[in-house]
């Protein structure tokens, strides 16, 4: 009997099931099953294709007695017990190369929107309110941009900044000697002291839970814009509201949340989110930074190329 692959990702490019079938796999699509549903069916599969919203716990892995690989359509692996999977001989693959450009562009879009008050002005104009001086913007040129995390998306964001006359400081705890003609290796302390913009590009892990918290925000010497496109729980929602209200930061561009959608209100109350999202200097999008027409196929082709090498 041919090996079987289960796709739990809700939205994947058609090329994934098509190419897997061409490779000889029998492919089943069961979008976003509950944990109990996944436990009941995973035993028969050699491959599993997931996105953010399928949790692959050690219990799932123990039940997956035939599983040879887990493919993550995207970058973050926090929903997969990677160490346990690999201890069982299961390959864990991801495709961060596929949507890093999209995230870099989106981060820049959020930043320019905030600095030029585009969303605020758009809302006012739609209501017939014509405020020019009140919506005077700032130029990005001659600013200092701090990038926290210089992986695929951090590098992509830095690349997008090359058209601006900016100084780019980058901090990555896992890298050394990464300065180049455009990016200067830095520390968190230097970024907190000098940055006019701070963009977050770190993965979620236990050590990165609320990485941006009251202590970090209190250490800021300027009042920077913060761009948040990595993982929701990296940023403490309550602390960021306090920073906005005390003007420790000028504005927030946010694409990811501690609850997704925020209306779940399980980790942070919906009242807190409403308080955040009602602010004029907050521009929010629904976890779409890496969600472009182009990234959909790039994520798929990158992941398939890695599966073919197994």
Q: Is 230 helix (H, G, I), strand (E, B) or coil?
A: coil
Q: Is 152 a catalytic residue?
A: no
| Residue where the block lists tokens 């006012």 | 124
Q: Is residue 191 a contact partner of residue 220, using CB atoms and an 8 Å limit?
A: no
Residue 44 zone, left/alpha/beta (φ > 0; ψ -120 to 50; rest)? alpha
Indicate the helix (H) or strand (E) that contains 146.
Answer: strand 144-148
- Reference 258, options 236, 239, 240, 279; nearest CA is 236
Instruction: Say how many C-beta atoms besides its own lie within 10 A of residue 6's C-beta.
Output: 23
Residue count of the chain, please give it.
310
Determine whether 214 is an active site residue.
no
**Active-site residue among 32, 193, 242, 260?**
260
SS3 179: coil
The catalytic position among 28, 29, 214, 287 is 287
Q: Say whether 11 is catalytic.
A: no
Element (H, E) at 6: strand 4-7
* Catalytic, out of 13, 231, 233, 258: 231
What interhelical angle do 293-308 and 15-22 show, nearest 10? Answer: 20
Q: Which residues are catalytic?
A: 231, 260, 287
């Amino acid at each position: 009997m041919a090996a079987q692959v289960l796709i739990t990702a809700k939205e994947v490019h058609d090329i994934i099931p098509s190419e897997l079938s061409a490779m000889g796999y029998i492919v089943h699509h069961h979008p976003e099953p509950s944990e109990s549903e996944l436990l009941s069916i995973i035993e028969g599969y050699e491959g599993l294709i997931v996105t953010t919203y399928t949790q692959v716990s050690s219990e799932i892995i123990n039940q997956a007695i035939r599983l040879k690989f887990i493919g993550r359509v995207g970058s973050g692996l926090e929903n997969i017990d990677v160490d346990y999977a690999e201890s069982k001989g299961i390959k864990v693959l991801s495709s961060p190369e596929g949507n890093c450009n999209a995230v870099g562009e989106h981060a820049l879009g959020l930043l320019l929107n905030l600095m030029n008050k585009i969303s605020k002005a758009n809302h006012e104009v739609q209501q017939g309110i014509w405020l020019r001086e009140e919506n005077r913007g700032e130029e990005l040129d001659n600013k200092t941009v701090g990038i926290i995390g210089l992986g695929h998306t951090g590098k992509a964001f830095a690349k997008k900044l090359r058209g601006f006359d900016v100084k780019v400081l980058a901090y990555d705890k896992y890298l050394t000697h990464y300065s180049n003609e455009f990016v200067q290796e830095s520390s968190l302390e230097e970024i907190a002291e000098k940055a006019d913009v701070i963009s977050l590009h770190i993965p979620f892990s236990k050590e990165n839970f609320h990485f941006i918290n009251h202590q970090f925000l209190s250490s800021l010497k300027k009042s920077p814009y913060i761009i948040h496109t990595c993982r929701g729980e990296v940023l403490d929602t309550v602390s960021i509201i306090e920073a906005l209200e005390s003007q420790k930061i000028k504005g927030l561009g946010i694409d990811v949340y501690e609850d997704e959608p925020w209306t779940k209100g399980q980790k942070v109350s919906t009242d807190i989110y409403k308080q955040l999202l009602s602010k004029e200097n907050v521009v929010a999008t629904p976890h779409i930074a890496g969600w472009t027409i182009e990234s959909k196929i790039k994520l798929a082709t990158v992941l398939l190329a890695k599966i073919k090498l197994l």
